[in-house]
Each structure stands twice: as C-alpha cells, then as structure tokens.
Structure 1
C-alpha cells in the first residue's frame, strides 16, 4: 500500500551532543550540510507521504521556524513543550492529529543513504510489506555491517517469514532497528495518556507474533554523539564517491 501520512519523532533533548545542542535542537544539527530531520522528511516525501506530524519540545521555536519552511508535504505540529512524552507517548499523542489510515513513523536522528535509482525506496517497500491482517507493526531493520554510528547492539532476530523476536546470545539473523515503522493508528487506541517508551508496543507485538521486519537496502547512519557527526560525514563522502565511479 502507498502510505500517505507519517509521524516524525523529533522532541528529544540531544544531551549526548552537547555543547552543539546547547543552542540548536538535535534534529537541526547538520550532517553533510543538511539538517538531520530533513533526511527523514525527504525520505517520507520521496515515498509519497503528503502530510506528517512532527513533535517538538526542546528549543521548539527553532523547530517551528524550520518546519514552517518545508514545502514537500504538509507539516502538523504536536506540541510537547509543557510535557515531554517519550517515544511511545509522543507517538500516541501525534497519531491523534492524523486519520485512521496506515502511517509511517520515523526518528529524526536516524537515516540512510545509498538507495538505488529506479527501484522502490525503503519506505515504499515498507509500506508494501506492511499487512495489517498479519502485523501490528512492520519495522525497517538493518544488518549490523551496514551501519555507522551504532553501538553494536543487536535489537532483534529476523525469522525467515519476517517475524521479529528480541535478540539473545547465540540467536541467528540479528538485525538493528532502523528507526522506521509502518503501522495502523488503531494499535495505539489503548495507549496510556502519559509518557511511555515505544518498546512496550514492540514487546506486545512480539508476544502476539505480530512484529515483522524488512531489511533496509543501503547504508544506515545514527548520529547521537559529537564523534558520530564526523563518522557519518565520512561515510556519506565515501559512499558518494563509490556511487559516482
């Protein structure tokens, strides 16, 4: 299916990137000359998304100014300035600003490069993969060797049929959660009204056998520290040089 609405989680404090984030919100930190959140927004627009909710909290006025100038889709603000809702609570609040159709969810500080021209994008593939009859959520995942800036932790084990379970020592086919989800908003109809972590819903879906994963095509980058900025920019330069030869 083509998913036309999205939620971008962008309300984090970015404390591990201080002192840069003393004066700028983490989603607006530039990587290779481009604010991190624009990598997420452009990926959504490329996949056919027409409107997206973005939650804001820290240095929200800067976020509002930046998002107000984005033209590739309609941007709706979920304001968390009074109360930070964590990943799950922020998503639950933001979903109330969208309709009941399927939605893509992305983190503002995780992105990928190296998609091939002329084939469906990763988010288009994720939308086509998502089957609400069988799945609570479909997660975009990545193999550890195709990551930059990650701490080495393996999040899930990916079965042959696409089902995900929490990774444990000795398990096969480990993957990392790449920060993108396809899901139905109705999944969060029972969500608490206060702050909570999104992992709660991952575990609920696993218990029902309804958490599935799709492997990312390309290279994935996470930028959570000052050192990771240089690592990400070097990876982008290297992969861009390879692609141009």
Structure 2
C-alpha cells in the first residue's frame, strides 16, 4: 500500500546524551554534519511520505526553528511542552493531527544507511507488507550483526510467517526493533489520553498474533551517548554515505 502520513517521535530528554543535550535537543545532534532527525525525514521523503507530525518538548523552540527550514515535507508540530507523553501517549496525541489513513511511525534518533540504490526502500517494503486485516502493526527489524551503537539487546524473535514475539534465550532468528512501524491510527481509538509506553500495544498485538516484522536492508544506527557519535560517523564513512542519500 501507499503510505503518505507519518509521525516522528522526537520529544525525549536525551539524558544519556548529556552534556550535549544540556543545550540542545537530541534529534538535532549532528552526525556526519547533519542533524539526526534529517536522516529520518529524508527516509520518509524517499518513501513518498507527504505529511509528518513531529512531537517536541526538550528545547522545543530549537526543534520548531529547524523543522521550519526543512523542505520536501509538510511538517506539523505536536506540542508536548506542558508534559511529556511517553512513546504511546505522544503517538496518540500526534496522530490526531493526521487523517485516518495508514501511517509510518519513526523515532527521531534511529536511522539506517546502505539501502540498494534505485530499489525499494525499507519503508516502502514495510508499507507493502502491512495488511490491516491480519496485522495491528508491522515493525522494521534488523539482525544484531547489522547494528551500530546498539547495546546488544535482542528485542524479538521473527517467525517464518513474519510474526514477532518477545525474544527469549535460545529463540531462533532474533532481531532488534529498528524504530519504524506501519499502522492504522484506529488502532489507538481505545488508548489512554495521558502518558503510556507503546510497548503495551506491542504486547497486546503479540497476544493476538497480530504483531509482524520485516527485516530491513542496510546498516542500522542508534546514537544514544556522546561516545556513540564517532562510531556512527565511522560507519557512515565506511558506507560512503555521509551525505545522507538513501538513509
């Protein structure tokens, strides 16, 4: 299916990135000369997304100023200055600014490089797999060996039929959640209106056999600490992709 709406979760405090985030929001921390969130926004543009909601809290004015200068997307702001809503609450609040059509959800500090030039992007693959009749959500996933900056935790086991379950020691085909989802906003019609963690809906979908995953192409990067910046930049140099093209 074609997905033209998206939500980017960008309101966190970035506590592990201190002292850098004592004066700026984590999504604006530069990696290879570009703010992290720009890699994410470029990924959405490459997949044909037209409209994106970004939630803001920490140094919200800096985020708004930067996003106002980004070209290629209609960007709407979900303001969480008054109170952080956690991943689930922030998503529910932000999706209200979009219509009811399918949407991508992405984290502002997780991105990837090394997709095949001219081929189907990872998000297009995610959209093609998403079938609301069988799935609550489909998550982009990556094997641990194709991650940079990750803590080594295995999030899910990816079944041969595409279903995901929480990883337990010894499970086959362990994967890391790569920070991108395809879903329908109506999934959250019964959601709380205050802060809650999105993992509640992951576990609910697993219990119903409706959480699916697809394995991404390329190398996945997460930058959680100041020390991880250099590792991410070295990976980008290694892939010859410091411009962010194909991110």
TM class by shorter-chain length? Answer: over 0.9
Matches within 5 A, 1:213-232: 213-232=213-232
SS of the aligned residue for 2:97 comes to coil
Q: Which residue in 2 is equivalent to 1:116? A: 116
Matches within 5 A, 1:66-105: 66-105=66-105
Q: Which residue in 1 is equivalent to 2:19? A: 19
**Root mean square deviation of aligned Cα:** 0.7
* Residues in 2 aligned to 1:39 and 1:239: alpha-carbon distance in whole angstroms: 15
* Residues in 2 aligned to 1:233 and 1:162: alpha-carbon distance in whole angstroms: 32
Identify unmatched segments of 5+ residues in structure 2. 242-247
Matches within 5 A, 1:109-188: 109-188=109-188
Question: How big is the shift at 1:2?
Answer: 1.1
Q: Does 1:65 align with 2:71?
A: no
TM-score (norm 1): 0.97
Q: Which residue in 2 is equivalent to 1:39? A: 39
* Residues in 2 aligned to 1:2 and 1:40: alpha-carbon distance in whole angstroms: 18
The CA deviation string for residues 87-118 of structure 1, in whole angstroms up to 9 with x for no partner, is 00000000111100000000000000001112
How many residue pairs were aligned? 241
SS of the aligned residue for 2:27 comes to helix
* Residues in 2 aligned to 1:51 and 1:118: alpha-carbon distance in whole angstroms: 23
TM-score (norm 2): 0.97
The CA deviation string for residues 160-207 of structure 1, in whole angstroms up to 9 with x for no partner, is 010000000110000000000000000000110110001000000000
* Residues in 1 aligned to 2:216 and 2:117: alpha-carbon distance in whole angstroms: 15
* Residues in 1 aligned to 2:116 and 2:230: alpha-carbon distance in whole angstroms: 24
The CA deviation string for residues 31-82 of structure 1, in whole angstroms up to 9 with x for no partner, is 0001000011000011000000000000000000000111111000000000
Question: How big is the shift at 1:234?
Answer: 0.7
* Residues in 2 aligned to 1:188 and 1:58: alpha-carbon distance in whole angstroms: 25
* Residues in 2 aligned to 1:123 and 1:228: alpha-carbon distance in whole angstroms: 25
Moved over 6 A (4+): none
Identify unmatched segments of 5+ residues in structure 1. none
Q: Which residue in 1 is equivalent to 2:245? A: none
